[in-house]
Amino acid sequence: MAIKRLIFFIIALASANSHCNTLKNQLIEDFNYLASDELMGRQTASQGAKLSREYLMQRLSLLDLEVTEQYFTYKPTLFKKSEGINIVAQSPKKLPKVIITAHYDHLGKRNGKLHLGANDNASGVAAVLYLAASLHRTPLPFELVFVFTDAEENGLYGSLHFAESINPKDVIMNINLDMLGVKERNKRLYALTSYSLKSHLQPIFSDLKNIGINLKPAYSSKQMNRLTRSQNIDWHRASDHYSFARNNIPYVYFGMGHDSYNHTAKDTMEHINIHLYINTVTMVEAFIKHLAQVSLVGLKVDT
């Protein structure tokens, strides 16, 4: 009997490792495609954005999630009206929500050169696809909602529309993923976190360990600037997490910090450290699993 149990354990372990490797291989395949020339930089309302959405919808259709397109309009200038499209994937569960976001838009073509946006933000979008595949069937005390936002580069318009469409009382927090793939000498993953979450999440941040990467939480834009050695970046307003803070929803923003290639034609896959990127994504995955073990009742957000 003991031998049979050992054999079963070995087979189960091998199966789990195989599934994990399959997910990681798919993660890199997604990343490469989203940062490819074919998508032409994924500018909002472009053919590249349309192709990006078709790819995301096709990938998400393989999971038992409800997938919808959320249309919205916005005015980037006083006399211009534009349209964007978010993609939302969720289960039908009626539980408090943790909303995981990444913007899929980028800059498209500028000054005759394609800006492919590998780090900004194909890295975050591929990570959310990975998390959806990895966690959508995991028993958790909250519902995971996976949101791919549009028009972030134009002014956070996609996330603003989504955040205003939901009841903040139904949401525990937003987890925003933006720029996860930069080459970083210090191999640090930063977690800018609403101060209201500090006491709840400090034990998780302390427990998380991953080979080859260090997790550095920050609880203010000033502290984030100090850790990243960046110059006066308003990290609180720098990406989609700010839209949720404006709607009284606390957030954790995961990113690798400043990227010298950001918003240039050099933000391509050749400047991504793939091994570090995989470690980053799996650490975010571990964070979400740890999140299920702590009480997050009665949170208040600091805007």
Consecutive H or E run containing 218: strand 214-218
Evaluate whether residue 223 is within a structural domain. Answer: yes
Tell me: pLDDT of 212 over 90. Answer: no
Buried b (16+ CB within 10 A) or exposed e, 167-194: eeeebbbbbbbbbbbbebeebbbbbbbb
Evaluate whether residue 302 is within a structural domain. Answer: no
Q: How far apart are CA 255 and CA 250, in angstroms?
A: 17
**Model pLDDT for residues 4-61, shown as the tens digit of each residue:** 454 444 444 444 566 789 999 999 999 999 999 999 999 999 999 999 999 999 999 9
Contact 189, 88 (CB under 8 A): no
Residue 12: what pLDDT? Answer: 43
Residue 128: what pLDDT? Answer: 98
Evaluate whether residue 60 is within a structural domain. Answer: yes
Evaluate whether residue 232 is within a structural domain. Answer: yes
Residue 11: what pLDDT? Answer: 42
**Model pLDDT for residues 111-170, shown as the tens digit of each residue:** 999 999 999 999 999 999 999 999 999 999 999 999 999 999 999 999 999 999 999 999
CB atoms inside a 10 Å sphere around CB 23:
17
Evaluate whether residue 73 is within a structural domain. Answer: yes
Question: The pTM is what?
Answer: 0.93
Q: How far apart are CA 214 and CA 211, in angstroms?
A: 8
247 prior amide bond cis, ω within 30 = no
Residue 136: what pLDDT? Answer: 92
Evaluate whether residue 249 is within a structural domain. Answer: yes
In sequence order, what DSSP letters do the residues of 70-110 get, joined into one string?
A: EEEEEEEETTEEEEEEEEEEE-S--S-EEEEEEE--B-EEE
Which of 153, 192, 179, 203 has the alpha carbon at shortest distance from 259?
Answer: 179
Q: Any idea what the CATH number is for the domain that residue 171 is in?
A: 3.40.630.10
CB atoms inside a 10 Å sphere around CB 270:
6
Q: Which domain holds residue 278?
A: 2-291
Domain count, the chain: 1
Evaluate whether residue 303 is within a structural domain. Answer: no
Dihedral sign for Cα atoms in the order 239, 278, 146, 106: positive
Evaluate whether residue 242 is within a structural domain. Answer: yes
Q: How far apart are CA 103 and CA 129, in angstroms?
A: 12
